[in-house]
Amino acid sequence: MLQGFLQLVIALLILLAVAPFLGNYMARVFMGQRTLLDPVARPLERLLFASGGFSNQSSMTGGQYVRAILVSNLVMGILVFAIFMFQGVLPLNPTGLSAPSWDLALHTAISFVTNTNQQHYSGETTFTYFSQVGALGYLMFTSAATGLAVAIAFIRGLTGRPLGNFYVDLTLSITRILLPLSIVGAIALLIAGVPETFAGPAVAQTLEGATQYIARGPVAHFEIIKELGENGGGFFGINSAHPYENPNNFVNLVTNLYMLIIPAGLILTYGIMAGRPRQGWLIFGMVFIFYAVMVGITAVGEFQGNPIVNGILGSPAPNLEGKEVRFGWALTALWAVSTTGTMCGAVNGMHDSLMPAGGFTTLSDLFLQIIWGGQGTGTAYLFVFLILTVFLTGLMVGRTPEFFSRKIEKREIVLASIILLAHPIAILIPGAITLAFPETLAGISNPGFHGISQVIYEYASAAANNGSGFEGLGDATLWWNLSASFSLLVGRYIPIIALVYLADSMAHKQPVPETAGTLHTDTFLFTGVTAGTILILGALTFLPVLVLGPVAEGFLLARGF
Amino acid sequence: MTHTTQSPITHPPGGPRENRRHTPKVNTSGLYQRAFGQAFAKLDPRVMVKNPVMFVVWVGTIITAILTVNPFIFGPVQDEGPRLFNGLVTLILFFTLVFANFAEAVAEGRGKAQADALRSTKSETTARRLRPNGSVEEVSSTQLHRGDRIKVIAGDVIPVDGEVVEGIASVDESAITGESAPVLKEPGSDVASSVTGGTRILSDELTIHVTADPGKGFLDRMIALVEGAERTKTPNEIALTVLLAVLTLVFLIVVATIPTPASYINSPVSITILVALLVALIPTTIGGLLSAIGIAGMDRVAQFNVVATSGRAVEACGDINTLVLDKTGTITLGNRLAEEFIPLNGHSMQDVAAIALAASVFDTTPEGKSIVRLAEKQGAKLDFERDRAEAVEFSARTRMSGTDLPSGEEVRKGAVDAIRGFVRSRGGQAPAELEAAFTRVSELGGTPLAVCRNEDIYGVIYLKDIIKPGIHERFAQLRRMGVRTVMLTGDNRITASVIAKEAGVDDFVAEATPEDKIQVIQAEQAKGKLVAMTGDGTNDAPALAQANVGVAMNSGTQAAKEAANMVDLDSDPTKLIDLVTIGKQLLITRGALTTFSIANDIAKYFAIIPAMFAAAGIGALNVMGLNSPQSAVLSALIYNALIIPALIPLALRGVKFRPLTANQLLQRNMLIFGLGGVIAPFIAIKVIDLIVGGVGLA
């Protein structure tokens, strides 16, 4: 037990140590300040801009920015869909795979272009190396960079600066942040034993004399951007539980931290870019506490194990079902909360097998979307919550609400409301429809409360652009592919569009000078109020499904039948 | 700038509000009965639909009413006797609607009562309209148009707003201002030439140039305003309504998506309970009280005897960053009084007194009279025939006044440098001690006036300025609230700085002209600040229009009143400070009830969710230990309904405002309305549940 909790504390401490450096570095990158990578990155960027015929790098208006996002994402999505459909005739196909069904290809393309990587397939048996590296691996960089670019445009707007140029920020996100960190990380993984090859499956003779085909491929580089970019789409079906994706505790620790560092650092980047580092640290602290509590709840739940099983065993034992024994209950709990919190979606154990406490925390992570949150978008949502909190409670200081010295008025509230609305629409409505036809649509493997969790989790994962699955769900069907695609698109683009317009609207406001009568948002009190607002709004929206899913299941187990 | 006040202000600016509150004979008897009737009339769906939150409750009531009549209309139901339960839910929802409407009706009713009181002063009368050829025709007062000329004589009620063009008369304005002393009206003067419809002429006769079309007069606007006829939602109210509507929509989705998962686990939920959960979750408390809070805010302004042209202006008061205040009448009592004569140039005290008396004999301002009094006290007497002397009026250009004596000698008093210039023009030379006397008086915060006869400066009059008691504390309060004060005065720099320091203003502009006022406002606004100011003269009008909150004195000119967005009927410039408080109070009340309303939801969830999914084995979530599922739902709904009337007094009165910094205010109000909003309903619902169980309803 002590060892398990020690592992958790060490991981959290490393995160605390690394985040400020990265936060500071990202702020320097996006504020155009000098960084160590300038000599290497600048020529590369010049080459990219020149080869793309990309001369106009001036700041965009809200409308131009939104158009740039949508057009670039659409083009990438179509390209990737085409690659899937023609993968049978494209190179790097040692196992001779043919095209998947159109709906699976569509869902996968949407899933990866939205930075979700929800997978209704097993990579090793569905996609060729070309599809994995050229299509999926490519989107892993661009979709993560899209999120980062939006986040940076958002903070620029909030602080009254021009939004910037989408293509420039997209490029900088890749050349300055994602690519360098991936190269370093991938080399570390290679050294630690993760394979990287275009050769076909290894063939082995088992002791019984059977022939075994062991899937492998260019895993190491794929693996690291999978975590760093909050993508989560595994090279293999069982993701980071696979020994080639996650061979040992060192790789497990590195990849787990890689999920967290950008969303965690970005909160501090926001503070620096807004000229209010204290604000950044307070929000960072709030999220860190949320995160630690979630990890704690999950870990305790797994450590205590299943009371029914324990009753049969006659002694308490941690719940190890659906886990890699080499990682154990503690590191699986840490990973589960990290991957759902950051919208990464990679898994090193099956969430379907988590105790109800873990079902509760992982679902809550997906509902709240800010316990670090997705690449870029999570930090932006945090600041949307700050804005909503200012609006709801700020009147109590006797002034009309303002955030970062800018008045929050109808337009901003409409846009923030759209962000607030998109999530329940994308989760609850398809969830309710699916559960209305449990026999034909749902594909539930564990009926009862757990079945509700399975269905809601799938849509929550899609809408939050997480991508992990509760698993156990027969989700490779036309209904699941299409309905999840709906949640993916609504959960990704509606909030992003609203974020850009919100930033644009704030940027054009006349700032109001700060006085003693101004509500300061960078205080412990206000951060506490924000935490309360996030929890209340989140709880109010998703409590019924949480009660019907993991909570009821928890009570069921506690009663012992 | 003109002289600001006509009558001395008798109350201290920091005194209790009630002393200054003036309500023109408002008849509030029967207010609640009428409001109750109104509450039912407002159930009309065409009215309800304007408030999205309450409209959802309205639809819910209809659905549960149908289910009461026929519980099986939407399909089979498990419970055996849901009719009583459905009926009770319908009844509670109905009263939730009535209570919310009642809150609004009471707030409106108060305004209506006030409007009635005002309207009683405005009866249709016959007016004497002057034809272009000078003959008189009798027309109804409602037929008078802008540009007409009318004649009024002693005893008449002045039918419309206008400008005096001929005659001098005393007018009783108590119907509008509550001030019983009659006011002198005459043409030409900035302040004294405007008359208001509804006031009564007591003596003599006046020819008036009509300045308002029928129904557009000052009184009409005021009536429309307090009645709420012209009430439009303020920007912040609109934004809040949007957010409340979105929350309602979120909860609608939440509730609408419950049945299928519930059925999936064989724990179906009845439609009545779904409606109950929806109504409990949507922010009915703030939704029901929002408009009442806004109306009450306008009402509080009206009780202060200030007419605001819009709720927007009241809301803006809370956001004010800078107050631009005239020194005279706002910071100091209106009248400076002669305190001392300082002889110069070897003249005796007697000589100075005599010359000061001679220079002030025609001066009817309070300052002039006080000089006469002081001179007479010192034994000075007139040594010329008053009738044969000639008055020299004060003008802003010359900055001096005085008398041309029958002997041909000119005696003058005025600003020190103006007199210095006068003396020089007459071939004289200012004595060296003049500067010392000027400095001495200025450093005392007084106004030095020099007196001279021809080229000879006799001495300096020390006019003492009296800072209003309590004003220093008021400014300190404002500073704590983050409001900056800028004092404008025509005084010299030294005097201005002394007064500014004593009064505790943050900044001052000395030797200010009316043009400076608008510059100060523009400079502040360029920094993104919201500025409030008061004014009364025609030359204040541009600044009043430029300011975010411009308060015109009712004693001021028509132009000033047109340009302002508020008119103070008592003509008390200090009220600006109270208006800031009222604006903040309005916003705080709105925020506090919003926070409270949303915080309440936690307890309601804990009451209804365990009841709703009783079959799912989650009894442990029933932390309040409520009697039965039905009792839990009823108790939550009863709480939800009763909290509205319980909070009506708070909504109408407003949350008490304390001059604290924003962070202290947030802490305090968060504790009361945020934390209180989480805890209070747990207790209240438990108590109601005990009663419901005791009565045997469920």
Q: For A458-474, what is the mean pLDDT?
A: 88
| Dist CA A370 CA A533 (whole Å) | 13
Confidence of residue B201 (pLDDT cuts 50, 70, 90): confident
C-alpha distance from residue A324 to each of A301, A309, A333, A353 (Å): 17, 19, 12, 12
pLDDT average, residue stretch B405-420: 89
Contact call for B616 and A400, based on CB within 8 A: no
pLDDT over threshold 70, residue A406: yes
Q: Does B594 touch chain A (CB under 8 A)?
A: yes
- Interchain proximity A438–B257, CB inside 8 Å: no
| Residue ranges matching CATH 2.70.150.10 in chain B | 126-156+161-211
**Lowest-confidence pick of A188-192, B178-182, B406-410, B599-603:** B178-182
The band of B657, judged by pLDDT with boundaries at 50, 70 and 90, is confident
Nearest to B254 among A414, A424, A452 (CB): A424
Architecture (CATH level 2) of domain B360-464: 3-Layer(aba) Sandwich (3.40)
Chain A touched by B618 (CB under 8 Å): yes
Burial A316-348 (b: 16+ CB within 10 A, else e): eebbbebbbeebbbbbbbbbbbbbbbbbbbbbb
Please name the member of B257, B263, B598 whose beta carbon is closest to the beta carbon of A536: B598
What stretch of H or E contains A557? helix A552-559
The Cβ-side half-sphere exposure at A248, using a 13 Å CA radius, reads 9
Instruction: Say whether A396 and B592 touch across the interface (CB within 8 A).
Output: yes
List, for residues B529-565, the tens digit of each pLDDT value: 899 988 777 778 888 888 999 988 877 777 787 788 8
Banded pLDDT at B488 (limits 50, 70, 90): confident
pLDDT tier at A410, thresholds 50, 70, 90: very high
User: Per-residue pLDDT averaged across A466-494, rounded?
Assistant: 89
Residue pLDDT, tens place only, A324-358? 888 999 999 999 999 999 999 999 999 989 999 99
Chain B residue at shortest CA distance from A529: B670
Kindly identify which residue of chain B lies nearest to residue A401, measuring between CA atoms: B236
Could you say which residues from 140 to 159 on chain B have a Cβ atom under 8 Å away from some Cβ of chain A? none
- Of the candidates B618, B667, B674, which has its C-beta nearest A552's C-beta? B618
User: For position B65, what pLDDT does the model report?
Assistant: 94
Tell me, what's the pLDDT at A23? Answer: 96
- Distance, in angstroms, between B621 CA and closest chain A CA? 9
* Contact between residue A532 and residue B674 where contact means Cβ atoms under 8 Å apart: yes
* Average pLDDT for chain B: 84
Instruction: Tell me the count of A-B CB pairs closer than 8 A.
Output: 212
B19-23, B149-153, B524-528: lowest mean pLDDT where?
B19-23
3-state secondary structure A155-204: HHHHCCCCCCCHHHHHHHHHHHHHHHHHHHHHHHHHHHCCCECCCCCEEE
- pLDDT for B8 equals 37
Cβ separation B616–A511 shorter than 8 A: no
Residue B176 pLDDT more than 70? Answer: no
Contacts of A456 in chain B (CB under 8 A): 261
Report how far apart, in Å, the C-alpha atoms of A559 and of each of A306, A307, A308, A544, B261 are: 11, 9, 9, 21, 22
Residues A503-551: tens digit of each pLDDT: 999 999 989 888 888 889 999 999 999 999 999 998 889 999 999 999 9
Res. B445: pLDDT tops 60: yes
Q: List the single residue in B484, B530, B617 with the smallest CB-CB distance to A556.
A: B617
Query: Which of B595, B687, B633 is CA-nearest to residue B279?
Result: B633
Element (H, E) at A325: none
Lowest mean pLDDT among A51-65, A450-464, B634-648: A51-65
- What value does the mean pLDDT of chain A take? 91
Mean pLDDT is lowest, of A102-111, A333-342, B390-399, B683-692, for: B390-399
Find the catalytic residue in B148, B172, B299, B326: B326
In the block, residue with structure tokens 């999205």: B52
Which chain B residues are Cβ-neighbours of A534 within 8 angstroms?
Answer: none
Residue of B nearest to A410 (CA): B239
Q: What residue of A is the nearest CA neighbor of B481?
A: A517
**CATH class label, B306-333+469-580:** alpha beta
Residue B323 per-residue DSSP state? E
Among A398, A408, A543, beta carbon nearest to B587 = A398
The residue of A396, A415, A441 whose CB has the most chain B CBs within 10 angstroms, and thus the best one to mutate to test that interface, is A396
Reported for B80-88, long-range contacts at CB under 8 A and 24+ positions apart, including other chains, are B82/B270, B82/B272, B85/B272, B85/B630, B85/B634, B85/B698, B86/B272, B88/B634, B88/B697, B88/B698
- The C-alpha atoms of residue B18 and residue A88 are separated, in whole angstroms, by 87
Express each pLDDT in B285-304 by its tens digit: 999 999 889 888 888 887 78
What residues of chain B, 658 to 697, have a C-beta less than 8 Å from chain A? 661-663, 665-667, 669-670, 673-674
- Residue B278's pLDDT is 95
Residues 478-507 of B with CB under 8 A from A: 479-484
CA distance A506 to chain B (A): 15
Q: Is the CB of A552 less than 8 angstroms away from the CB of B265?
A: yes
- pLDDT band, residue B2 (cuts 50/70/90): very low
User: For residue B685, what pLDDT is reported?
Assistant: 96
Q: pLDDT-based confidence at B567, cuts 50/70/90?
A: confident
User: Which residue among A428, A432, A519 places its CB closest to the CB of B666?
Assistant: A519
Residue B80 has pLDDT above 60, yes or no: no
Contact A408 B239 (CB under 8 A): yes
CATH 3.40.1110.10 domain span(s) along chain B = 360-464
Tokens 């040594």 locate to: B383
Report the distance separating Cα A430 and Cα A479, nearest Å: 10
Question: Could B663 and A523 be called an inter-chain contact, meaning their C-beta atoms sit closer than 8 Å?
Answer: yes
The answer to whether residue B69 neighbours chain A at the CB level (below 8 Å) is: no
Phi/psi for B325 (5° steps) reads: -120, 135
CB-count burial class (<10 Å; 0-12, 13-18, 19+) for B329 = buried
The answer to whether the beta carbons of residues A203 and A212 sit under 8 Å apart is: yes
What integer pLDDT is reported at residue A190 of this predicted model? 94
Q: Which of B528, B584, B662 sits opposite A520 (nearest CB)?
A: B662
In chain A the first and final C-alpha atoms are separated, in Å, by: 27
Neighbours of A301 (CB within 10 A): 24
Domain with CATH 3.40.50.1000 in chain B: 306-333+469-580
Classify each residue of A74-101 as buried b or exposed e, where b means 16 or more C-beta atoms within 10 Å of its C-beta.
eebbeebbebbbebeebeebeeebebbb
For the cut 60, the answer to whether the pLDDT of residue B444 exceeds it is yes
The answer to whether B260 contacts chain A (CB < 8 Å) is yes
Chain B neighbors of A424, CB-CB under 8 A: 250, 253-254
What values do phi and psi take at A15, rounded to 5? -60, -45
Report, as an integer, the average pLDDT of B585-594. Answer: 93
Phi, psi of B487 (to 5 degrees): -100, 135
Which positions in chain A touch B236 (Cβ < 8 Å)? 395, 400-401, 409
Report if pTM > 0.90.
no
Tell me which chain A residue has its CA closest to the CA of residue B584. A398
ipTM: 0.93
Q: Does position A264 have pLDDT exceeding 60, yes or no? A: yes
User: Is the sign of the CA dihedral A396, A397, A400, A401 positive or negative?
Assistant: negative
Integer angstrom CA distances of residue A19 from A15, A23, A24, A268, B150: 6, 6, 8, 8, 80
CA distances from B188 to B163, B166, B367, B557, B567 (A): 9, 9, 22, 11, 22
Confidence of residue B19 (pLDDT cuts 50, 70, 90): very low
pLDDT of residue A419: 94
Contacts of B480 in chain A (CB under 8 A): 516
Question: Is pLDDT above 60 for B10?
Answer: no
Q: CA angle, corner A465, sides to A461 and A466, nearest 5?
A: 55
Alpha-carbon Rg for chain B, nearest whole angstrom, is: 33
Whether A396 sits inside 8 A of B484 (CB atoms) is: no
Q: By three-state DSSP, how is residue B361 classified?
A: coil
The answer on pLDDT for A311 being more than 80 is yes
Distance from CA of B520 to the nearest CA of A (A): 16
B535: alpha, beta or left? (left if phi > 0; alpha if psi -120 to 50): beta
- Choose between A447 and A258: higher pLDDT: A258
Q: Give the 3-state secondary structure of residue B668.
A: helix
Residues of B whose CB is below 8 A from A439:
none
| B257/A432 CB distance under 8 A | yes
* pLDDT for A273 beyond 50: yes
Q: Which helix (H) or strand (E) holds B171?
A: strand B169-172
B326 is catalytic: yes
pLDDT at B505 over 80: yes
Question: Is B498's pLDDT higher than 70?
Answer: yes
How many CB atoms neighbour CB B303 within 10 A? 20
**Residues B240-269: tens digit of each pLDDT:** 999 999 999 999 999 999 999 998 888 888
What residues of B are in contact with residue A525 (Cβ under 8 Å)?
663, 666-667, 670
B242 contacts A552? CB cut-off 8 A: no
Q: Enter the CATH code of domain B126-156+161-211.
A: 2.70.150.10
Q: Do A551 and B667 touch (CB under 8 A)?
A: no
Q: For residue B189, what pLDDT is reported?
A: 63
- Rounded to the nearest angstrom, the minimum Cα separation between A334 and chain B is 27
For A400, which of B319, B599, B620 is closest by C-beta distance? B319
CB-CB contact of A284 with A267 (8 Å): yes
Distance CA B107, CA B649 (A): 10
**How far apart, in Å, do the first and last CA atoms of chain B sit?**
73
pLDDT score recorded for residue B64: 93
CB contact under 8 A, A540 and B250: yes
pLDDT value of residue B76: 66
